[in-house]
Amino acid sequence: PGLGFYYKNLQDSTARIRYQAETFLHSFRLRTLGWPVCQALPHAFEFFQDEVRSAESLFAVLALLGKTDLLRTHEIPKVRAVARTLGILA
């Protein structure tokens, strides 16, 4: 299963980001299907504006806490650092 790629029905950015965050945190529920879970990390431009490159790191934390297996990101070095740090804290 993969979620987060596009939400045509969620045009309100606050509702979309809230839904994506909740989905990331509940990813562990999909693991019972026996397949890896993929999440595309949003950039949340409406909130991060000039710091938009930092957004994917925030959403990576939520997705990793939810036990997502595969993260689709444009910010590989930042997200890798977040994943490694969370890995040593587990």
pTM reported for the whole predicted model: 0.82
How many domains does one find in the chain?
1
What is the Cα Rg of the chain in Å? 13
Domain range holding 15?
A: 2-89
Rounded CA-CA distance 88/32 in Å is: 25
Rounded CA-CA distance 16/7 in Å is: 8
pLDDT at 1 over 70: no
pLDDT class of 35 with cuts at 50, 70, 90: confident
Burial class (CB in 10 A: 0-12, 13-18, 19+), 64: buried
